[in-house]
Chain A
Amino acid sequence: MATPGYGRIVRDGLWENNGVLVMLLGMCPTMAMTATATNGFGMGLATAVVMAASNLMVATFRNYITREVRIPVYILIVAANVTFVDLAMNAYMHELYKVLGLFIPLIVSNCLPLARLESFASREPVLPALMDGIFMGLGFTLALTLIGAVREILGSGTLFADASLLLGPAFKFMEMRIMPADMGVLLFILPPGGFLVTGLIVVGKRMLDIRAGKGIQMAGAHSV
Chain B
Amino acid sequence: MKQRTLIHGVILGLFCLGFGLALALTEWVTHDAILARAMEDRQNSLGQVIPTAIHDNNPVVDTIQLQDAAGRELTVYRALKGGRVTGVAFEVFGSGYAGKMKFMLGVDAEGRVLGVRVLSHKETPGLGDKIEVKKGDWILQFAGLSLDDPPAAKWAVKKDGGRFDQFTGATITPRGTVAAIRSGLDFYAAHEAQLLEVN
Interface residues of A (CB under 8 A from B): 35, 61, 64-66, 68-69, 72-73, 76-77, 80, 83-84, 87-88, 90-92, 94, 97-98, 155-156, 181, 184, 186, 189-190
Contacts and interface: CB of A to CB of B under 8 A. Distances in A.
Interface string B1-41: 00000011101100110010011001100100110010011
B contact patch SS: helix
A194 to B, nearest CB: 13
Contacts of B125: 35, 155-156, 186, 189-190
Given A66-B11, A87-B26, A87-B27, A184 B33 contact: no
A83 B23 contact: yes
B52 interface: no
A186 B124 contact: yes
A164 B97 CA distance: 31
Given A73-B15, A83-B23, A84-B23, A189 B30 contact: no
Nearest to B127: A186
A80 B16 CA distance: 10
A contact patch SS: helix
Contact of B12 (A72, A90, A92): A72
Contacts of A72: 12
B161 interface: no
B11 A77 contact: no
B23 A69 contact: no
19 contacts: A64-B11, A66-B7, A66-B8, A69-B8, A69-B9, A73-B15, A76-B19, A83-B23, A84-B22, A84-B23, A87-B30, A88-B30, A91-B30, A92-B30, A94-B37, A94-B41, A155-B126, A156-B126, A186-B124
Contact of B8 (A68, A83, A92, A190): A68
B23 A80 contact: yes
Contacts of A69: 8-9, 11-12
Nearest to A64: B11
A16 B126 CA distance: 36
Contact of A80 (B11, B22, B30, B40): B22
